[in-house]
Amino acid sequence: MSNIIRFGVSLEKDLIAEFDRYLKDNGYTSRCEGIRDLIREELVKREWRVGQRVAGAISLVYNHHRRELINRLTDTQHDFHENIISSQHIHLDDDNCLEVIVVKGKSKEVQKLHRALRAVKGVKHTAFTMTTTGKKIP
């Protein structure tokens, strides 16, 4: 027996037309696949909101000549060592470094780590990818 359940959805014409444009722009070939992804997207957002165990990546760009900044970034990462799975350091040019920190754990803790890193004086930019461990997302 299939584990697929079909259900009907009634939507306004304008809304479905806009949704179809969204699907086309994003390369979907079926409404089903687009709806599945939107549902997963919301379920992952919910994991973060309600404080479940999550996964993610924090990217930082900074100038490595600022020694105090390096020390603070390192101290902060040691404070959160239980949430950090790995980190990668890329020398972008003579001055700039890109660091990508892969994180896992309770959403509140991981968000606290991101805020602490972002607040370090001299960090030029951070990007935060908030994703899932995948355990509760079919």
| Residue numbers at the binding site for Ni ion (CB under 5 A) | 64, 91, 97
Are 88 and 100 a contacting pair, CB within 8 Å?
Answer: yes
Helix (H) or strand (E) holding 115: helix 107-118
Q: How many other CB atoms sit within 10 Å of the CB of residue 1?
A: 3
Please say which residue, 21 or 65, places its beta carbon nearer to Ni ion. 65
Q: Select 12 or 94, whichever has its Cβ closest to Ni ion.
A: 94
If DSSP codes are grouped into helix, strand and coil, which group holds residue 118? helix
Nearest to 118 by CA among 54, 61, 55: 61
In the complex, the smallest distance separating the C-beta of residue 99 from Ni ion, rounded to whole angstroms, is 8
Q: Compute the least distance from the CB of residue 122 to Ni ion, in Å.
A: 14
Residues 87 and 73: beta-carbon distance below 8 Å: no
Minimum Å gap between C-beta 103 and Ni ion is 20
User: Which C-beta is closer to Ni ion: that of 46 or that of 91?
Assistant: 91
> Which residue's CB comes closest to Ni ion?
97
Q: What is the largest CA-CA distance in the chain?
A: 62
* Shortest distance (Å) from residue 89 CB to Ni ion: 6
34 vs 72 by CB, closer to Ni ion: 72
Position 126, amino acid: T
